[in-house]
Chains A and B, each alone.
Chain A
């Protein structure tokens, strides 16, 4: 049972407030913000109490989405609801930035009104909601000529139009209905990997959490069939065949997915509703089909002048055609390090962050099969051998576009009945790092 819902910007401005039951005071926002700012650390605890009022909050796009409740509610339900609400708002408004929230507050009020009544969640299905929501989203992006560049002459497919711009999937779902927006469907395979590599180069831990998301901008779509790799297997027991078999440990599907063709042909059938939904989630641990994408060969020395020399060689073991982008390596350095001098390969840059006591080495583009090196020299007053304990572990973050570490692929994507008019189907793959730690 939800008493109130409010959204605060990261600076504590009220973006939205709705009281469903009238049982708690209206000064809750300031109470909450006081509690938040009083606490140190990067995020206050998810559940906080004030008298007999509980605050449960999640953070999206910098803002606080808060539910207050007096009764004893299920934390899973409230947290999941807030996430779902944010996803709905994102579907309807295009993005979750503070600006977009401010511009679309009327739409969000309307959504909230339909989603929650008297503190009880009524529905969060976008299929149901689309009949009730009347307000048009105000898009914060101005019209851009760049969007037009994707359309070839006479509608012919240009090279560019084979790749959807990254902003394509961040527009409000409703514009498709009236403004003649493209009828598009996006299928994203997103994998997050968390890896720990020991100081001796041994892979200590490798987990992959993956999901298939469908974002649908089609006003009506009766059925969609998603074909996965035929050699896709679940669990450890199954024998691996020849060739590139794809295996995951566990796998779960959205309730709406029909699995009658899954066992025989690895086909998922569903009727996508407008907006974004997760079709399938899967996990794989400890048994990656390929080598971890990055390895680090560090040499760390103390020279006679009390300086710390770090020679780092970072090697990318991806197939030569692939590349990692936005690679950033964070190397913790001893406390009190004052100056940094560096020798880097030309494409990368590095700087020292005093606040987080680390060097951040950034490589915008890193092709598979290559390696980069960096030499950092640090002035550390009072450097002792113990200070070396503070160096490491190196944390890497990167993005692997057009690649899944598990090897999961979408064989085909069919819509039935065939859509009238032009419709576009996009399949995108990306692997992010959740946490990629290399010990030194």
Chain B
């Protein structure tokens, strides 16, 4: 009916349906009904035909019946009184000898969603629970849930609930699964169906009979079951092992989720389960359905957070195919970045380089930022690629490269020169504000070394009137100020113009910032310099290679949920945070970290005394017993880099405020000593991290190898099991420092060779910095300075830890040499 309006259509249809000659011919009647449904699914409002359709319902033709039911379920709510007529027909059908007709009638009766008609519906539904045909029982069981949900205020019908519980033993697996679903809905307020031991075991035993969908349902309900003993738990796990490697991704995912919740207390078992699903998940990543591939990729990313090494050998599976849609390509690149190691870095970068010129700008930019992330550990090669890309002179690429360089430049200061060279060649006008902001930031920081910086800046300042992005204007102000401090002669004039313009700006934040800078300049150039040229706390501390391994429990609840697939995942959050670092300066950063270490008071702690004040049982701390109690290290709870920095600085400030006199009350212990480990500073960060993790020490931040001073920050938790089962745990934060000086030898001699230890007094350390600086160029014996902070203090744990650490370092260096 392409030429008829919807009203004409309805009129026309009504005439056909009411025509007695049509009604007497089953085929024509069915066709008329079919046309109604077609109109309905095309969005025409055919609710006016309700009474005609009710009549059409009384037929022996099952196809016509089904069609009419589609119509009725759609419009019943609009015609409650006419629906009563249908209910009669339906109730009659419920007595039909054909089980198919019975189930059809029952299903549609419960689908009418009319609370007023419930009294007529209830009886057939309850009767349907005892029908001899499984297909009727399936419908009846869900019918109970539908009825319940239509009457939100009525109490739960205990008889029905009991009936449903008994139907869990129904021979038909779909009836069983439907019972679970219905009970979940009816008992929602009590927390869903009660899973006790017999029910759980019954469900587990019948899992094999269910189809894929039933298995998923059962597996998700079983997550609420708590096995009573470890033995039972392992019985269940071995029963589920086959589903864990199922070729159906839904079953595999549901099983893994159940595994993770059952084994939340057994990390080793969880890890084994993750390794087991690697195969099926990888197979899902190669599925024909790209949506399924996407889901599998998102979930692999979760797994990688806890097991970074899981896919080491399979990185080639994540190369992008050219037919992959952009959203899959981006996920694949994120996975690839996680899988970088020394062996594959060249292959990966070569592959990523190919994506940088992708037609899709999002893909190209994602590839560039992926290279930037790899650049945190392999900066040489990445910067080479990035600078190469700049010569393409394409806007979206240049913009992405600049943003990446900004992020990279602040964490790898040793590559500043390359960045400066690249900046010199970068002259084109960028249209997106992110790119312009990055360019300005880079100019502000490296402007000293880029000869053309004032000219580039002048172009920006001349165009400030047409600038729309407030972010760019703010950045422009800061850049102009910074450049002015370095090159006043060239920039004074344009800074004046810019301030003049911005002070009359309507945007509050820009005006305020301009005024602030203006007043700052009034205060004098030195003041300005102290405010603007503040360094971040420690430029080297930003180098984070590999996030610390997350415990599985962090993400287990997200596994197999829609949230994992949605875009606002943790990755985007972290990139946001990263880029904001460059705009805001940390107020706590004024004293650089390397300076703060100098006023440290390193205590001479008498053995046992310090910890005795805190330990409930001082005798447990006697030297003898400490040998008997083994020390265990663990990584949980994890300490984030921010927490680490806070704790490290906080402990320092505590010292400097309180001084030495009340150190007894301090809850921490500091220790400094020298470990001879010739080749450790040349170790690759990866191998160092791997070695540390073997003994449960988490490394947080590194400087790249061969740089001076070379630093590593690390932490761990110690657990001493005390005699009366009172676990005593402490947190140790540590710094390894190698500054390449030779004048530490005398201390080394004093403390014996290599692993000997030396608990220093604070006074000895005062002039450390000067000595270090003077000897900076002198390359002597490689002695690594270990600074440890422990809270609460426990000298034996600390000493034991130190022995472990020394062993690790020496093992590492012996491997290198």
Q: Which residues of A contact B (CB under 8 A)?
A: 13-17, 22, 40-43, 45-49, 54, 56-59, 69, 72-77, 79-83, 105-106, 109-110, 113, 117-118, 120-125, 131-132, 134-135, 192, 194, 196, 198, 204-205, 207, 209, 250, 252-254, 281, 283, 285-286, 330, 332, 335, 356-358, 384-387, 389-390, 392-393, 395, 397, 434-435, 437, 439
Contacts and interface: CB of A to CB of B under 8 A. Distances in A.
Interface in B280-299: 280, 282-284, 286, 288-292, 294-295, 298
7 contacts: A72-B562, A80-B248, A109-B70, A110-B63, A124-B212, A386-B393, A397-B323
Contact of A209 (B139, B217, B220, B286): B286
Interface string B144-175: 01100000000000000000000000000010
B43 interface: yes
Contacts of A435: 320-324
Nearest to B560: A74
Interface in B89-123: 100, 107, 111, 113
Contacts of B43: 14
Contact of B253 (A14, A76, A207): A76
Contact of A135 (B63, B247, B249, B357): B63
Nearest to B394: A335
Given A77-B213, A281-B283, A386 B391 contact: yes
Given A117-B138, A192-B288, A434-B321, 8 more contacts: A46-B295, A69-B562, A105-B41, A118-B181, A252-B283, A387-B392, A435-B323, A437-B322
Interface in B203-232: 211-213, 216-217, 220
B73 to A, nearest CB: 8
Contact of B70 (A113, A120, A387, A397): A113
A390 B388 CA distance: 11
Nearest to B43: A14
Contacts of A14: 41-43
A207 B280 CA distance: 16
Contact of A117 (B107, B289, B327, B351): B107
Contacts of A124: 211-213
B359 interface: yes
Given A16-B41, A120-B178, A123-B211, A285 B322 contact: no
A252 B70 CA distance: 40
A179 B34 CA distance: 22
Contacts of B354: 392-393, 437, 439
Interface residues of B, number: 86
A75 B560 contact: yes
A252 B247 contact: yes
Contact of B295 (A17, A69, A75): A75
Given A117-B139, A135-B63, A332-B359, A76 B388 contact: no
Contacts of B291: 46, 57-59, 79, 82-83
Contacts of B70: 109, 113
**Dominant SS among interface residues on chain B:** helix
Contacts of B249: 76, 80
B295 A79 contact: yes
Contacts of A49: 566
A132 B107 CA distance: 14
A79 B321 contact: no
- A106, A110, A207 pick with most chain B CB within 10 angstroms: A106
Contacts of A54: 562
Nearest to A112: B70
A110 to B, nearest CB: 5
Given A47-B566, A330-B322, A118 B100 contact: no
Nearest to B391: A386
Contacts, number: 214
B592 interface: no
Interface of B: 34, 37-38, 41-43, 62-63, 66-67, 69-70, 100, 107, 111, 113, 135, 138-139, 142, 145-146, 174, 177-178, 181, 211-213, 216-217, 220, 247-250, 252-254, 279-280, 282-284, 286, 288-292, 294-295, 298, 316-317, 319-327, 347, 350-351, 354, 357, 359-360, 362, 388-389, 391-394, 560-567
Contacts of A120: 142, 177-178, 181, 213, 217
A69 B362 CA distance: 29
Given A72-B561, A105-B37, A46 B294 contact: yes
Contacts of A83: 289, 291-292
Nearest to A65: B291
A296 to B, nearest CB: 14
Nearest to B360: A41
B567 A45 contact: yes
Contacts of A15: 41
Interface centre among A77, A209, A252, A283, by most chain B C-beta atoms within 10 angstroms, is: A77
B108 to A, nearest CB: 9
For the complex of A and B, list the 5 residue pairs with the smallest distance between their C-beta atoms, beginning with the closest: A435-B321, A252-B247, A386-B391, A121-B213, A395-B322
Nearest to B322: A395
Contacts of B252: 76
A387 B391 CA distance: 8
Nearest to B146: A118
A230 B362 CA distance: 48
A47 B565 contact: yes
A13 B42 CA distance: 8
A21 B326 CA distance: 34
Nearest to B33: A106
A138 to B, nearest CB: 10
Contacts of B320: 435
A123 B212 CA distance: 9
A113 B212 CA distance: 19
A106 B560 CA distance: 34
Contact of B357 (A46, A77, A204, A332): A332
A335 B7 CA distance: 54
Contact of B247 (A73, A253, A356): A253
A13, A123, A392: which has the most chain B beta carbons within 10 Å? A123
A81 B250 CA distance: 9
B565 A75 contact: yes
Contact of A250 (B253, B279, B288, B560): B279
A132 B100 contact: yes
Contacts of A105: 37-38, 41
A250 B278 CA distance: 12
A79 B212 CA distance: 13
B37 A106 contact: yes
Contacts of A384: 391, 393
Contacts of B37: 105-106, 109
B292 A79 contact: yes
B63 A75 contact: no
A358 B211 CA distance: 47
